[in-house]
Amino acid sequence: MNITDIIENFSYLDDWEDRYKYVIELGKELETMPEALQVDANKVRGCTSQVWLSTRVTERDGEPVLHFLGNSDAHIVRGLVCITLAIFNDKTAREIVALDAESIFNEVQLRDHISAQRSNGLNSMLQRIKADAQNLL
């Protein structure tokens, strides 16, 4: 699933109950993260739920490209992980550092409808992704 499709699908859903259901459905579409990667070193700190994020780096035209795998023990959070990875996956480190994910979250009004704890966890995940990319530059 790519972020353009996700944004478009959100636009068809007027009711936030339907949007929550959609976020949960997105979580079911997450690329499988092997249990061997769900270790303490890959935990995202600052999340109330358990969230794991693994980063694989490849190269394209001499630039580092990042691919993330993520998982959570909470259904709604798995959906938030899916949305976040749809924004950042398979982009170069430069693109990731420059990307404004907040504008996407604002477009779908995501922050307005998740708890403060989930919002903090989302911030932690964004900081981790940006830091991984920045460390490669």
Instruction: Give the number of other Cβ atoms within 10 Å of residue 86's Cβ.
Output: 19
List phi, psi (to 5°) of 66: -110, 135
Residue tagged 């477009």 (tokens):
107
Residue tagged 């779908």 (tokens):
108
Q: Which of 30, 33, 47, 93 is catalytic?
A: 47
- For residue 99, what are its two tokens? 């990307």
Specify whether 82 is catalytic.
no
Task: Point out the residues that are catalytic.
Answer: 47
